[in-house]
Amino acid sequence: MLSRETKHEGRPAPAEVAAHILKRSKLRPTLGLVLGSGFQSVMARCTVVMEVSFVEIPGFANTSVSGHEGRLALAYLAKTPVVVVSGRTHFYEGHSMETVTFPIRVLAALGVRALLLTNAAGGINGRFRRGDFMAVTDHINFMGANPLRGWREPNRFVDLTQAYDPALARLLKKAGAKTKTRLHSGVYLAVSGPSYETPAEIRAFSGLGADAVGMSTVPEAIVARQCGLRVAALSCITNPAAGLGKEPLSHADVLATGDAVKTQAARLLEKFAEFYAETK
Ligand code: HPA
């Protein structure tokens, strides 16, 4: 069942949900990780201390997309205490922006200071090849919705001048160099999906300054900034965007590329977690 909730009022307080989760473990995460398509394999490198399925967490909606498992784990990754959201709920599944971003509010309430959002994306920049990675430096919100719409509390006018933390992006680049990953930097443009784009749209997005296109991450980054978290985002370039490759686009193809580079993705995230712990 898809959640049809659109109001903040009908939802439990993130702090209550967080308290409930923290009761089940002594681990106190400092870093949050949201694993998109192609990044699930990092779970195998985590020492999981406590794990809970989305269906057991009030306010969380389960995800219906293959390649996205809905569970939240408290774990150690390279000795860094982390909270991992494995699988995410997407706007294109029919969930409200509030539902999509509720896990971020819970992560903030769990006490994390920084967040790494990961995703699969289509490459628009001509230098990007299938299986490359991109550290997000900025975004363009083309989803036609904003997760803070209707937000009544103070701090609705969130500054996004520097939505993606440059110091965290440097850690990503350092982790990329250490793991010999082809890691670019660039602008992520988010669409609502679930259809892929037309070639005309991709030409337009290219003109707007986008390097990659995807269907997630932006709502979470906006809410994370509202919550005062430092944000990093990492895309796996799973395919050339529409009109730029030889083949038609398919979800199976996106998953296949994600699968082909899953070890690289996991090593990259593990190094990032290690470098993050060293900065504190
Ligand atoms: N477009 C939008 N979202 C995506 C793509 C794409 O080409 N590839 C992976 N996610």
pLDDT in tens, 12-61: 999 999 999 999 999 999 999 999 988 989 999 999 999 998 888 888 88
pLDDT score of 7 more than 50: no
pLDDT of residue 63: 66
Classify residue 9: in a domain, yes or no: no
- Asked whether 58 and 105 are in contact (CB, 8 A), the reply is no
- Asked whether 60 and 103 are in contact (CB, 8 A), the reply is yes
**Ligand 1: residues within 6 Å at CB?**
120-122, 196-197, 213-215, 238-239, 241, 249, 254
Test site for ligand 1: of 139, 249, 255, 261, most ligand atoms within 8 A of the Cβ: 249
From 93, 98, 197, 220, active-site residue = 93
pLDDT score of 258 more than 90: no
From 108, 114, 120, 221, active-site residue = 120
Classify residue 2: in a domain, yes or no: no
pLDDT of residue 151: 86
User: Is 0.85 topped by the overall pTM?
Assistant: yes
> Measured in Å, how far apart are the chain's first and last C-alpha atoms?
42
Query: Measured between alpha carbons, how far is 121 from 182 in angstroms, rounded to an integer?
Result: 15
Classify residue 208: in a domain, yes or no: yes
pLDDT of residue 60: 86
Q: Provide the CATH number for the domain around residue 237.
A: 3.40.50.1580
Classify residue 6: in a domain, yes or no: no
How many structural domains comprise the chain? 1
d(CA 263, ligand 1 centre) in Å = 21
Active site residue 139: no
Query: Measured between alpha carbons, how far is 6 from 99 in angstroms, rounded to an integer?
Result: 8
Query: Measured between alpha carbons, how far is 132 from 5 in angstroms, rounded to an integer?
Result: 37
Classify residue 5: in a domain, yes or no: no
Classify residue 7: in a domain, yes or no: no
Q: What is the pLDDT of residues 203-228, one digit of tens each?
A: 999 999 999 999 999 999 999 999 99
Minimum CA distance residue for ligand 1 atom 10: 121
- Asked whether 198 and 241 are in contact (CB, 8 A), the reply is no
DSSP-derived letter for residue 248 is P
Active site residue 93: yes
Q: Look up the domain containing 234 and give its range.
A: 14-278
Classify residue 179: in a domain, yes or no: yes
pLDDT score of 148 more than 50: yes
Active site residue 239: yes
Classify residue 80: in a domain, yes or no: yes
